[in-house]
Structure 1
Amino acid sequence: MATGSAMSKSVELRNRRPKPENRLPGNRFGGTRLGLQSRRSLWGMLFALPALLLVVLLLVLPALQALYYSFTSWDGTDAQWIGLQNYTNGLFANPDFRRILLNNAIIIASVPLEVAVALAVSYLLMMRRRSRPFFRAVFFLPVALSWVVIGLTFGYLFSSRGAVNTLLDNIGLSALSSDWLAGDWTSLAALILAFSWSYLGINVVLLSTGLATVDPSVIEAARLDGAGGLGMLRLVILPQIRRYVELALIVTMSAAITQIFGLIYTMTAGGPGRSTTTLEYALYQTSFAQGNFGQGAALGIVLFVVSLAVTALRIRSGVAARD
């Protein structure tokens, strides 16, 4: 009887044990084994940690340091806390700063027209298949040139004795000739023209890539239905390459805010007066020409906020258009 009782208890205990296929095996860390997706995420974070540390050290910490110095009077060695004076007295109460903001706004407002010109060029290249490689190389040529070369070239073209005035004199329009870089608004227009020409190649490549994704059968069907060139572009092609157009707008706007220092430096030096000075160039002048690094840091913060706001607005408008 005792033996039978012991055997029954043994069988009962065996039945209570979890079956091997239902048991969650433990790992060396204790507890249940991590799922495959969790382990991949963990290893991904571990591999990304060095890059993340570099981003923090090289971008985040300097940005926080610039934010701190924007509230100080800093000459490069000694920093004294002055609160919001760099913003209230040094920037927003200064009429030159309002002109600088206006210059940035005008340059940003010209970007949609620049992208539209690039879209027209890309569309014509798509229609002209035989000569497409040659003209793509021609339009992409400015990308291979530095801002210094472009600035010096356009500075010569629009100078008082430059090629533009020479051309006007030769065709009998000498009354229109002028020192274009000496006028408040003509110098800004010349700067925008130089920037537009320099970024035309990048936008043509982006938009040509988008046009290459359009199904030729859709274009052929629209053509058979009687769609003309402009109608086909507006009703058939643009809805299909909207994301490429948005990308071109974002890239060009970002460059218009933060990448034309070399162009301004070699072409107009920010003048005459403040007519071609942007936030980027004013930051250089304030910090390195005047030695006012505290106010230069404040300009850097304003530049960051403007760049972030323009990019976020462009992305949000694109998402709203897709919805």
Structure 2
Amino acid sequence: MNALQRQIGALREAGAATELSALGLELLHAEHFPEAEMAFLAARDLGEMSALTNLAVTLDRMNRTEEAEAAYREAIEAGHDEGLVQLADMLLFESSRTSEVEAMLRLAVTREAVGAWYVLGKLLARRLGRHTEAEDALRRERNSEIRPLAQYELGCLLVSQPGREEDAATALRASGTAAADGVLGRLLLGLPGRESDAVAALRRAAEGGVAHGWNNLTVVLAQFGRLAEADAAYRDGIAAGEWDLVAHYGDFLQVHGRVAEAEEVLRRGLEKDARCAFILGVILVNQPGRADEGRRLLRLAAGSGVAEAGAYLARAGR
């Protein structure tokens, strides 16, 4: 028995249901799922029925969906209407249960459960012929914490509808989330005269931590010929920990004739990304007196699964 389990046992013995529920939340957020489950179960057994929805979330995170559903249903029976929304959200992609999930959400709406309109909108957006209803549901979400998510979902829904680009942009801006800025940036790239707005949105997405956000920004800046800004964005992204950028940055530098800088950058990435070995290998194999080192790096890259490196060596007969 570890220290956390002993702490949970002591709180249970003391009848400290509220403290157990609070500890369970801390453990859930820290992704200590088995201990979180133990804390929530102990809290429930002591009569803290509000722990049930968090118990269900924990079980879902451990891919124990049948047990999670049972916990949600126990929470709903105990009068916790948010369980209707959370259970529906968990079952959202169960195509055989779509009608059941919709009925659950309609009930949640009548009970004014938090997030009910948002999840109903998500469900309807994924059903053919129900997009108008989906839009209406997403617009009805008024909870201040959930509305940004609803506006993001609404923006993504409208992006796919011809002629609704400006409506989509309005919803995505209203969301204010980094994910929405990523979608907004891509949308604006396709609209005439919106280059600056697109770049600004992509920059916000990158700074907000969207996956591959810095790479998306650097590619667009380079395409627009804004090379100094692209260079700065590469460095900002790498400083922010997006190590996938190192190989791209090295390639960017060598393409623009900054070969010595490219080599320095790529060498820093050799231990983390085999693509750095490939790009640096191609650079060196074509430099007088450095072909052997270049071939060694290409073989290293090929051995690490970089297909282009193996193909390059085969074409060159090396």
- Normalising by structure 2, what TM-score? 0.20
- Normalising by structure 1, what TM-score? 0.20
Q: Which has the larger radius of gyration?
A: 1
